């Protein structure tokens, strides 16, 4: 069996494909896997670290504006589409896959489209609640569209082709229950734990707000534990706290880290999470049913993080707080309000458990093997 995965742009597109590749190889000895990404994309670094080969195509995005720079960029993209079509066909000729799966990113388009035209079994998986341009376009030619949430089905022209599978989440996130995780973190009292992180690199606006929020916590006697991952803004957060008159050594309940390397453990111990609303993040929050305050990044294509957050918020599983309305004060107010209402947090958790799909990788594996059996006769 040979499977080609094509993905890129963000870790949220790469990680599900890696999880699926590992599952296919574990259950099908001798299964060969090839990844295809975009020239210069982060996938060219992430995928080899997982031990998989990757080839690339020359593909760029379309910009949705009519500025001279955007028009020039889009003309280049049109030229790249012709080049990437030839590259995709060359890769298919060499590898001859039995199945092609796209998990997001512009590189998916030429490869999946070329495979579908040849009659090779094809599928796409969309982690975001609302499909991007690539997935929406490919949904018209692939055999199966897999999505993270039931609410996503209505965004496709042929809902009968759509299967709700969830988005794969690392097994580590299910290793601990809350009590075990708190013990490992050394939390021996009954104070709740708040976890905040704004992406692997952080976000300067949100880190400034979080520093102010932490200062307010310290003014109120740190009524809860707080672990904050500051990313690349770590030193700036420490400097701002110093300006605010906060000595972290005087507040052992507050821990500011550069990176939260043990995220599955910390999330398992959390009573409330403050974070962005990328596809991987909301999948993790839903899978382990942790109440969250979601502050979507306004600097992403088609504002897809707000759309992701709205799905959880409308169902009652999270609070959606636009960045334009967020501040250190409002963040602290949200924390204080939710921690003082355990019944609401429990209701949020119940909603998330109903929405989440902890066995998403298994669901996707089953869907893809069914597709292979159906088209393979």
**Band (61; pLDDT cuts 50, 70, 90):** low
So what's the pLDDT on residue 78? 61
Structure tokens at 74: 């889009």
Tell which residue, 138, 105, 144, has the closest CA to residue 17: 105
Burial environment of residue 258 by CB neighbours within 10 A (0 to 12, 13 to 18, 19 or more): middle
Note whether 107 and 85 are within 8 A (CB). Answer: no
**Band (1; pLDDT cuts 50, 70, 90):** very high
**Band (168; pLDDT cuts 50, 70, 90):** confident
So what's the pLDDT on residue 63? 59
Domains and CATH numbers, the chain: 2-167+359-376 (3.40.50.2000), 172-355 (3.40.50.2000)
Tell which residue, 328, 368, 163, 194, has the closest CA to residue 266: 194
- Who has greater pLDDT, 74 or 151? 151
So what's the pLDDT on residue 66? 62
pLDDT digits (tens, 9 = 90+) for 122-165: 999 998 888 888 899 999 999 999 998 888 888 899 988 999 99
So what's the pLDDT on residue 200? 59
40-53 in b/e form (b: 16+ CB < 10 A) is ebbbbebbeebebe
Structure tokens at 73: 């960029």
- Evaluate if residue 106 carries a pLDDT over 90: no
Structure tokens at 17: 């494909």
What is the number of residues in the chain? 377
- Who has greater pLDDT, 11 or 370? 370
- Evaluate if residue 377 carries a pLDDT over 80: no
**Band (53; pLDDT cuts 50, 70, 90):** very high
* Mean predicted confidence (pLDDT) in 40-52: 91
Q: The pTM is what?
A: 0.83
CA distance 116 to 246: 59
SS (H, E, C) 84-147: HHHHHHHHHHHHCCCEEEECCCCCHHHHHHHHHHCCCCEEEEECCCCCCHHHHHHCCCCCEEEE
- Who has greater pLDDT, 241 or 67? 241
284-320 in b/e form (b: 16+ CB < 10 A) is bbbbbbbbbbbbbbeebeeebbbbbbbbbbebebbbb
If phi over 0 gives left and psi between -120 and 50 gives alpha, with beta otherwise, what is residue 71? Answer: alpha
Looking up tokens 């022209």 gives: 157
DSSP 324: G
Tell which residue, 101, 61, 54, 28, has the closest CA to residue 301: 61
Phi, psi (degrees; rounded to nearest 5) at 376: -85, -5
Least confident of 104-113, 166-175, 335-344: 166-175
**Number of CB atoms found within 10 A of residue 133's CB:** 14
So what's the pLDDT on residue 56? 95
Pairs from 241-247 (Cβ < 8 Å, separation ≥ 24) = 241/211, 241/214, 241/215, 244/211, 244/212, 244/215, 245/215, 246/214, 246/215, 246/218
- Who has greater pLDDT, 9 or 46? 46
């Amino acid at each position: 069996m040979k499977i080609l995965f094509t993905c890129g742009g963000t870790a949220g597109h790469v990680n599900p494909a890696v999880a699926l590749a590992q599952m296919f190889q574990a259950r099908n000895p001798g299964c060969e896997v090839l990844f295809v990404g975009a020239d210069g994309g982060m996938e060219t670094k992430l995928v080899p670290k997982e031990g998989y080969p990757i080839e690339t195509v020359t593909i760029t995005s379309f910009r949705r504006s009519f500025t001279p720079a955007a028009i020039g960029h889009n003309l280049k993209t049109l030229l790249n589409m012709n080049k990437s079509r030839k590259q995709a066909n060359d890769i298919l000729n060499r590898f001859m896959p039995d199945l092609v799966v796209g998990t997001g990113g512009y590189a998916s388009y030429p490869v999946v489209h070329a495979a579908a035209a040849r009659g090779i079994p094809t599928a796409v998986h969309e982690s975001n609640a609302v499909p991007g341009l690539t997935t929406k376009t490919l949904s018209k030619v692939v055999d199966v569209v897999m999505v993270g949430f039931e609410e996503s089905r209505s965004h496709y022209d042929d809902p009968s082709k759509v299967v709700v599978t969830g988005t794969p989440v690392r097994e580590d996130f299910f290793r601990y229950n809350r009590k075990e995780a708190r013990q490992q973190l050394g939390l021996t009292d009954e104070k709740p734990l708040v976890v905040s992180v704004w992406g692997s690199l952080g976000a300067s606006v949100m880190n400034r707000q979080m520093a102010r929020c932490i200062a307010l916590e310290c003014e109120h006697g740190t009524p809860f534990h707080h672990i904050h991952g500051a990313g690349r803004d770590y030193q700036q957060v420490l400097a701002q706290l110093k300006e605010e008159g906060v000595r972290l050594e005087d507040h052992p309940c507050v821990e500011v880290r550069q990176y939260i390397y043990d995220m599955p453990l910390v999330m398992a111990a959390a009573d409330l999470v403050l974070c962005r609303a990328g596809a991987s993040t909301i999948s993790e929050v839903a899978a382990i049913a942790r109440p969250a305050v979601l502050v979507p990044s306004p600097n992403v294509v088609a504002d897809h993080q707000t759309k992701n957050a709205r799905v959880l918020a409308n169902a009652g599983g999270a609070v959606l707080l636009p960045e334009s309305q967020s501040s250190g004060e409002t963040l602290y107010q949200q924390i204080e309000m939710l921690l003082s209402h355990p019944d609401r947090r429990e209701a949020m958790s119940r909603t998330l458990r109903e929405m989440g799909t902890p066995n998403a990788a298994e669901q996707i594996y089953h869907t893809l093997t069914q597709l292979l059996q159906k088209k393979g006769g």
